[in-house]
Structure formats: structure tokens, C-alpha cells
Amino acid sequence: MAPTPASLGFRMPPEWAPHRGTFLSWPHKEASWPGKFAPVPPIFAEMVRWLAPGEQVHVNVADGDMEQAVRAVLRAARVSELNVYFHHVPTNDAWCRDHGPVFVQRQRPDGAWEEAIVDWGYNAWGGKYPPYDLDDQVPARLGEELGLRVFHPGIVMEGGALDVNGRGTLLTTESCLLNPNRNPHLSRAQIEQYLRDYLGVTHILWLGDGIEGDDTDGHVDDLTRFTDPHTVVTMVEDDPRDANHEPLRENLARLREMRDQDGEPFRIVTLPMPRGLWHEGQRLPASYANFYIGNEVVLLPAYDPERDGVARETLQRCFPGRRVVPIDCTDLVWGLGAFHCVTQQWPALPAG
């Protein structure tokens, strides 16, 4: 048996830990935003505008021609390219949270830090959107380019399905990880063991169902997120007539009973759901929990002017050292995801 990352001392840092950079896979699949693709690249450019002053931005593109096209989009939006780096790694789609590299770190006996990549299998959320062969290759190709060791668990897993607090606790959902369209041969206990072995966590907590319109079968990054080792923000829907009311009420009840890796209860902060957002008769998975934590900013998806401000003020209290930046995502979420879904952090190595 090959050694696992955890047995070698590797662990996954939390998202708020200092970043070397952020990975994006530039959008190009118009079918992911049918009839509404044109606004999407400018939204990515706006993300780069806010992230690049505080960290590197690494962009996956198919080739040199696509790189030049993306540079033209950035120039048209008057976005500096000084801290932007391109990787000729072709993708099927733009959801880098789920197909991108998951970085883990360890401190060697000599005191130096090193990093590696975990390359989960990727099947486009249970085979919903073929082809996905290029997306499945992204972590291994980046590992080869960056000269990093790559671990291959051999099971399907997506970055948006889990969140860690950096102290040993991982939060996920039953509706996603236990769905037979991912790993039907694995039990709950076996899935937990893979998470321990490959991410270095010790304590796994399970929420229930996701929100309406979420084609990922209930990713946790639309529900509940860690904002520090002891605090979670979680979505709530006050309207009992809304389809999201009951599953979010149930998840909140579970959170109140949960304890962290040290047996301590969490500080729970609630976020209101934006009012229902629909397009062409389809409920969209609009959620303020799909924010992304950068070095200097928190990118907040905005959907609802009357409730965006409450979400921004709530998250600003959670992240006093970062600026919470609301950006309109009513077009982006037609692809059924927002800022967290299209980003993947590259943690900085600690000094040592």
C-alpha cells in the first residue's frame, strides 16, 4: 500500500490561510450559460481585478490563442495583468473548485515546508454533463507543470462538497457524498476514511440536503462555510412556503448539536437566502454562502439588492481584515454556480 498524505503529515489548509494564488479555469462552454454566455467572461475579469492586487491569479486556458483572447478581455475591462499567470491546461468547463487541484502541505523533519496535490476523480457531478475527461486531468497536468507530487485517491470527490476549519474538522453533506452517482461501492465510513487519509482531517461532520436548483446534489459551499476555526456561517430561509425552508432549518438544527474536533460547540452566524431567483422557469441555486475568501478580499455573489447588504455586513464582521466585495452574479449563477464554484485556492507555504 502506498503511503497516504495524512500518514506523511500532509493536511489541507483552510481557505482563509494565506494564499500564493487563486486558480481559475476560464469560461468557454457556452452551453453552461445557454443564451447568456456573453456577460460571464467580464464577471471573471472583475474577479481578477479584485484578487490580483493581493495574490497571484492562475488561469487555465486551452492554448496560446485562448490565452490571447483572455488577455484581450482583461485589457477591455482595464484589468492589470501584472499578477496573472496562464497555464495551457485545457478544460471542458469553468468549475475549478470541483475539477481543480486540492493543495495539501506538511512540514518536513528538517523544518522546511512542502506541498502536494490531491487529484480526486471527477465525473461532472454524477455524469450529468459529459464530456468531462479534460477536467478530470487538470490536477495531474498542473502537478506535472509545477513539479509537485500528486496523490490519486481513486474515488470521485469535488472541492465544493467539503469545507475544512484547519484544525481537523471537515464539513460535508449526506445528499452529495452518499449519492450513488459518485462512489456507489463505498460506505459512509469508507468515504470518511478517504477524507482522513487524503486531507489530514480527523473529525467529519455531516449536514443533510442542499438547496433547490443545485445540480451538484447538495454541495456544502451553498449551505454552510467555516469563517475561522470556531465559526460557521449558514444559510436560512424564513419563508415556510419556500422549498429551501425545511432543509435549511434541518441543517441549522444539526449544526447546533455539532461539536468541533475538541468537543466545543461552534459559533453559528446565519445568512438570509436571497429571494428566489428564476430563469426560463428554472430555480437557480443563488446563495450567499458561495463566497470566496482571497488574501485581501472576500468575493460575495450578489443577487438581491434588499438582502445583499445584510449578507455583506454579516460577512464583513466575520472577516474584519478583508474587504467584502459584492459582485452581481445573476448572470453567472445561470450556470448553476458562483464565485466559490469557479475558484480554487493555492495556499502559500508557511515560512520555515
Catalytic (active-site) positions? 341
CA dihedral over 312, 318, 320, 322, signed as positive or negative: negative
Beta bridge partners of residue 56, listed in sequence order? 21
- Contact criterion met (CB below 8 Å) for 211 and 285: yes
Query: Residues 289, 223, 279, CA angle at the centre, nearest 5°?
Result: 75
Helix and strand totals (H; E) in the chain: 9, 18
262: how many CB neighbours lie within 10 A of its CB?
11
Q: Identify which of 337, 338, 342, 344 has the alpha carbon closest to the alpha carbon of residue 142.
A: 344
Q: What is the 3-state secondary structure (H, E, C) of 94-136?
A: CCHHHHCCEEEEEECCCCCEEEEEECCECCHHHHCCCCCHHHH
Cell numbers describing residue 201: 482531517
* DSSP-based three-state secondary structure for 144: helix
- Give CA–CA dist 145/61, Å, rounded: 14
Amino acid sitting at position 121? G
Q: What's the one-letter identity of residue 231?
A: T
Strand, coil or helix: 187: coil
Decide: helix, strand or coil at residue 310.
helix
Sequence-separated (6 or more) residues with CB below 8 Å from residue 333: 277, 284, 285, 286, 301, 303
Among 94, 92, 95, which Cα is nearest to 133's? 92
